[in-house]
Amino acid sequence: MTITPRTVIPALLTLVVGFSAGLFFSVAAQDQKVYELRTYTATRATWAI
């Protein structure tokens, strides 16, 4: 393949778009909230406050 601007520019655009998409989705995944489910079992102890 002959390296010319007509071949290099599309390749570079693909690289930039792909990198940007990867960066976006990795950041989006990191921005996802974490939820914490907690189940408490109480005793029959009483308290004064």
Member of 1, 6, 27, 46 binding another protein (CB under 8 A): 46
**SS3 at position 43:** coil
Q: Which amino acid is at 20?
A: S
Answer whether 3's CB lies under 8 Å from 11's CB.
Answer: no
Least distance between another protein and beta carbon 3 (Å):
41
Pattern 1-40, another protein, x by CB under 8 A: -----------------------------x-xxxxxxxxx
Alpha-carbon gap, residue 12 to 10, rounded angstroms: 5
Binding stretches for another protein (CB under 8 A): 30, 32-49
